């Protein structure tokens, strides 16, 4: 099983002993802009507490090294070293109830890693690229910095498909914060109202939106806030003008010239129908007090 998973990857585990418990690395105050923020359920602290870990301290943790060739953040085969997200959760005291790991970026993009994704893809927090420390990292295709942190995989093979949506690699760069959260809280914010069979368009649309749309669009305090439209605004468009809603997904620039959102041109009519049906279940709902 392990050999099949690794394939032709070059792998080495850097068994660097940690001189003190990882919990001793948690700091109440930030020491530099490059510190990793940890939040959610951390180390037995009150829920919602934030702690900081220095880049140098993260380098002291046991790391894994892989040669990757399928990460779109890199133009060619690249050697990455880092700490698996599951190891971070274990070392820094994730509670048994908080099985969801959330990565938040400086541009307010947000990626969710539920247990099934963690098990299937083994994502890790990258600390070295081609053996180089963060100050020598290349930049993203857009020219933006890849740091302070990014997340990658040893190898990505889609683990599920819903209609024409296939499991996508969750490889954000510019990661500044990791949270250990409860799935029921985070995904509960976008659970469609009502009771829908698993194979219904609404349920299928929910699975797609949870992995894709939720990275940039928020429902209250949950979800990414990189986009200019929140969940209820999308719901209003899906309900009042479903054809425009479909164009926003399929070809955003045709609705908003210069839109930065990538189009989902591979989505067929059934997939667009499912997303439309899903978002329409939120039509007419009001935003929670104190949220945008």
Q: Which domains does the chain have, with CATH numbers?
A: 2-181 (no CATH), 188-280 (2.60.40.420)
Q: Is 98 exposed, middle or buried (0-12, 13-18, 19+ CB in 10 A)?
A: buried
pLDDT at 11 over 50: no
Residue 79 near residue 129, CB atoms below 8 Å: yes
Least confident of 21-25, 108-112, 187-191, 263-267: 21-25
Q: Is 198 exposed, middle or buried (0-12, 13-18, 19+ CB in 10 A)?
A: exposed
The dihedral region occupied by 240, where left means phi > 0, alpha psi between -120 and 50, and beta the remainder, is: alpha
pLDDT of residue 93: 75
Name which residue leads in pLDDT, 199 or 5.
199
The Cα–Cα gap between 132 and 26 comes to 24
pLDDT of residue 12: 41
What residues have CB less than 8 Å from 264, skipping those under 6 apart? 165, 212, 249, 250, 271
pLDDT of residue 287: 56
Mean pLDDT, all residues of the chain: 90
What residues have CB less than 8 Å from 153, skipping those under 6 apart? 68, 71, 121, 122, 123, 124, 169, 171
pLDDT at 3 over 70: no
- Cis geometry, peptide bond prior to residue 270 (ω within 30 degrees of 0): no
pLDDT at 289 over 70: no
Determine the average pLDDT of the residues in 91-111: 92
Highest mean pLDDT among 15-19, 153-157, 248-252: 153-157
pLDDT at 48 over 60: yes
Determine the average pLDDT of the residues in 132-156: 95
* Percent of all residues in the chain with a pLDDT value above 90, rounded to a whole number: 78
């Amino acid at each position: 099983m392990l050999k099949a998973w690794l394939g032709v990857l070059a792998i080495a585990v850097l068994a660097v002993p940690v001189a003190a418990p990882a919990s001793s690395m948690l700091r109440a105050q930030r020491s530099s802009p490059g510190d990793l923020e940890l939040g959610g359920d951390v180390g037995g602290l009150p829920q919602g507490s934030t702690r900081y870990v220095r880049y140098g301290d993260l380098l002291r943790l046991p790391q894994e090294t892989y040669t990757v060739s399928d990460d779109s953040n890199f133009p060619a085969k690249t050697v990455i070293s880092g700490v698996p997200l599951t190891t971070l959760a274990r070392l820094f005291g994730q509670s048994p109830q908080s099985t969801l790991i959330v990565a938040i970026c400086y541009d307010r993009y947000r990626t969710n890693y539920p247990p099934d994704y963690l098990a299937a893809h083994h994502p890790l927090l990258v600390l070295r690229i081609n053996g180089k420390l963060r100050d020598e990292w290349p930049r993203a295709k857009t020219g933006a910095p890849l740091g302070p942190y990014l997340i990658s995989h040893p190898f990505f093979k889609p683990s599920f498909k819903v209609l024409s949506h296939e499991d996508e690699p969750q490889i954000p760069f510019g990661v500044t914060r990791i949270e250990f959260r409860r799935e029921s809280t985070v995904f509960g914010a976008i659970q469609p109202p009502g009771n829908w069979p698993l194979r219904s368009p609404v349920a299928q649309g929910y699975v797609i939106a949870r992995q894709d749309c939720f990275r940039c669009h928020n429902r209250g305090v949950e979800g990414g806030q990189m986009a200019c439209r929140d969940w209820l605004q999308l719901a209003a468009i899906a309900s009042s003008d479903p054809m425009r809603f479909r164009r926003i997904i399929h070809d955003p620039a045709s609705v908003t010239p210069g839109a930065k959102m990538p189009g989902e041109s591979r989505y067929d009519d059934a997939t667009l129908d499912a997303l439309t049906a899903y978002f329409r279940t939120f039509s007419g709902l009001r935003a929670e007090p104190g949220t945008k």
